[in-house]
Chain A
Amino acid sequence: MSKKTPLFKWHAGHGGNIVSFGDYQMPLWYEAGVKKEHLSAITSAGLFDTSHMAAVIVKGTGSFELLQRCFTRDLNACIGKEKSPIVSGRCVYGAFLNENGGVIDDAIIYQITPDEYIAVVNAGMGNVVAGHLDAHKEDASITITDLTDKLGKIDIQGPMSPKILSKILNNPETVFDNIAYFSFKGHFDSTSLQSQQVKLLDGTPVLLSRSGYTGEIGFEIFVLPESTLKVWEMLMDAGEAFGITPCGLASRDSLRSGAVLPLSHQDIGEWPYLNHPWEFALPQRDQENSFSKNFLGMDALLKIESPVFTLPFVGNDPRKVSTEHAVVMDDKGNKIGTILTCTTDMAIGKHNGRIYSIASPDKPEGFTPRGLSCGFLKTTIALNSGQSVVLKEGKRTIPVTIVSDIRPDRTARKKLNDFI
């Protein structure tokens, strides 16, 4: 089975190197090449077709309780430093776990109203997550709707994205007013009350979310399939003067790795969802044996006997290993783990032991990075930031360092006003 997004013809007609990804025919990169695409999302703007992703609507009284029970994030304590409850117009990242504490899929949950939510999940996971929620609902009046292939999605990411987007919005000032990181406005469904909040110049309603998968400032735009190509072309036209670049899956992968964001079913998966860089997606752990809420999979997380650790790493140069064949070795040559993700962030380099990005305001003069390999390791022993390990694949041995962060000076969380 091979599915196509509403933008497939555009990709194929614009030099997209098409590959199968999950069930979908997707561009891996375009004629510009991965490096330029990667850099564009850091220096100008990158445009990504993410229509292969799925969304599930959860609606009705009891929806909050269902999600609070099935989702790792504590929806009563997830917004801002003060950990306030989710409110309409905010979205949060977390995961759905099975009873063993393993990941079914990760998701961003959007609160449309206190009784209506959209869970945005990965390609091919719409029916899985919908089925999972349906099996765990206690209130028969809750409706769960899988929107797989019924929704288009375009991500615009990079420092120029607010300016580009403002060119196609009907009311950019109101839309950009008070739109914090991980908040959203509007709705793709014109029958929804919220659809009045965000309209494009031609009247197309969109759900506009200030989020993304690159670590850079930008938006995820949800739109009906029949309008997706039109919106993509509007953005390409409006973005031409700002250097917008269509980006494929390869640069999406290298950008998210450098931003320390996990790929579901690769960096998080069947194993217990604990001891990883994304523990903010779990409820607060007050004591060793309790979380601030009960949730599916919690009991298993509290009873782990042999823990595994997921750790970000960065190399000294762009050299990579394959995730299938390489192993992680300690300095004594003992195998201590495997590699989950290994890619090259082409925008970074090391200088006097410190990582700089092409976007770093204090980068050394004449800084032209060759890129650094980076990604995630899964080890059987805990390692601290700064510790060195070796990735070994056949004859190749690549020294890397455990880190807490990879690409510096990312823009995702910066003030939107500085980019308008």
Chain B
Amino acid sequence: MKEINELNLPDDVRYTKDHEWAKVTGDVVKAGLDDYAQDQLSDIVFVELPEPGDTFGKGEVFATVESVKAVSECYMPVGGEIIAVNSKLEDDPGLINTRPYEDGWLVEIKPDDLTEMDDLMDKATVLKVLEGNG
């Protein structure tokens, strides 16, 4: 497992307490699992993604990510409609491990209320939380 100072936590995304990340581009929120989550899960072998058009509230389960070790649910960082899913993960779920913020993204969301992003944590806060736990 990575030490806290080894984690890749980009500055330009926001984080949930459950270690999803979310990034706003225009009026779309792209979401995935952060480096801490993928490192904890280890090799990801399967991803169950929602269908485009599905809608979920903030904090609702929208995907299931399965590693060799465990099954882990992913929670919506903001409420809204799923407008795209990363179909590459079907054949190569390990992209979440290798490129969690790039090719390993999970979904794109059309948010109901973009101000829900303000509830998410920035990198410094995530680090504080991790250090508090660790």
Which A residues contact B (CB, under 8 angstroms)?
A: 17, 28-29, 33-36, 38, 250, 254, 317-322, 343-344, 346, 370-371, 396
Contact = CB atoms under 8 A, between A and B. Distances in A.
A250 B45 contact: no
B45 A344 contact: yes
Nearest to A371: B45
Nearest to B67: A34
A33 B67 CA distance: 11
Interface in B13-30: none
Interface in B38-95: 42-43, 45-46, 48, 64, 66, 68-71, 91, 93-94
18 contacts: A17-B1, A17-B42, A29-B42, A33-B42, A33-B43, A34-B42, A34-B43, A250-B42, A319-B46, A320-B66, A322-B71, A344-B66, A346-B45, A346-B68, A370-B45, A370-B46, A370-B93, A371-B46
Contacts of A35: 43, 45, 68, 94
Contacts, number: 50
B46 A250 contact: no
Given A17-B1, A396-B64, A321 B71 contact: yes
Nearest to B1: A17
B45 A318 contact: yes
Nearest to B48: A319
A304 to B, nearest CB: 34
Contacts of A396: 64, 71
Given A17-B1, A396-B64, A320 B71 contact: yes
A46 to B, nearest CB: 15
Contacts of A343: 68
A29 B43 CA distance: 10
Contacts of B46: 317-319, 344, 370-371
Contacts of B48: 319
B66 A319 contact: yes
Contact of A250 (B1, B69, B71): B69
A250 B64 contact: no
A318 B66 CA distance: 8
Contacts of B43: 33-36, 346
A29 B69 CA distance: 10
Interface of B: 1, 42-43, 45-46, 48, 64, 66, 68-71, 91, 93-94, 97
A346 B67 CA distance: 11
Contacts of A250: 42, 68-69
Contacts of A344: 45-46, 66, 68
B27 to A, nearest CB: 31
B49 to A, nearest CB: 13
Contacts of A319: 46, 48, 66, 71
Nearest to B69: A250
A274 B97 CA distance: 42
Contacts of A322: 70-71
A166 B69 CA distance: 34
Contacts of B68: 34-35, 38, 250, 254, 343-344, 346
B99 to A, nearest CB: 15
Given A319-B48, A343-B68, 6 more contacts: A250-B69, A254-B68, A319-B46, A370-B91, A371-B45, A396-B71
A206 B69 CA distance: 34
A367 to B, nearest CB: 13
Contacts of B66: 318-320, 344
A254 B43 CA distance: 13
B93 to A, nearest CB: 8
A29 to B, nearest CB: 6
A121 B111 CA distance: 57
A317 B46 CA distance: 8
A317 B66 CA distance: 11
Contacts of B45: 35, 318, 344, 346, 370-371
A326 to B, nearest CB: 10
A35 B42 CA distance: 9
A154 to B, nearest CB: 23
A62 B120 CA distance: 71
B39 to A, nearest CB: 9
B113 to A, nearest CB: 26
Contacts of A17: 1, 42
Nearest to B40: A17
Contacts of B69: 28, 34, 250
Contacts of B1: 17
Lowest 7 A-B CB distances belong to which pairs?
A: A318-B45, A34-B68, A35-B43, A318-B46, A33-B43, A34-B43, A17-B1
Nearest to A18: B1
A319 B94 CA distance: 15
